[in-house]
Amino acid sequence: MTDATPPLSAEASQLRSAIVRLSRRLRNERAVDSMSDGQLAVLGILKMHGTHTLGELADRERVSAPSMNRTVNCLEQDGLVSRSPDEADRRKVNIALTAEGIAVVEETLRRRDAWLEDALLELSGDERRRLRDAVDVIARMAER
What 93-100 contacts at long range (C-beta under 8 Å, 24+ apart), as own/partner pairs, is 93/53, 93/54, 94/51, 94/52, 94/53, 95/46, 95/51, 95/52, 95/53, 95/54, 95/57, 96/46, 96/50, 96/51, 97/43, 97/46, 97/47
Rounded Cα distance between 8 and 20, Å, is 18
For residue 80, give the DSSP letter.
S
On average, the pLDDT of the chain sits at 93
At residue 120 the predicted structure's pLDDT band, cuts being 50, 70 and 90, is very high
> Can you tell me the mean pLDDT for 49-65?
95
So what's the pLDDT on residue 51?
A: 96
pTM over 0.75: yes
Residue 84 pLDDT greater than 70, yes or no: yes
Please name the amino acid found at residue 127.
E
Find out whether 80 and 104 touch, Cβ atoms under 8 Å: yes
Q: Residue 3, Cα to own-chain centre: how many angstroms?
A: 38
So what's the pLDDT on residue 6?
A: 73
Domains and CATH numbers, the chain: 25-113 (1.10.10.10)
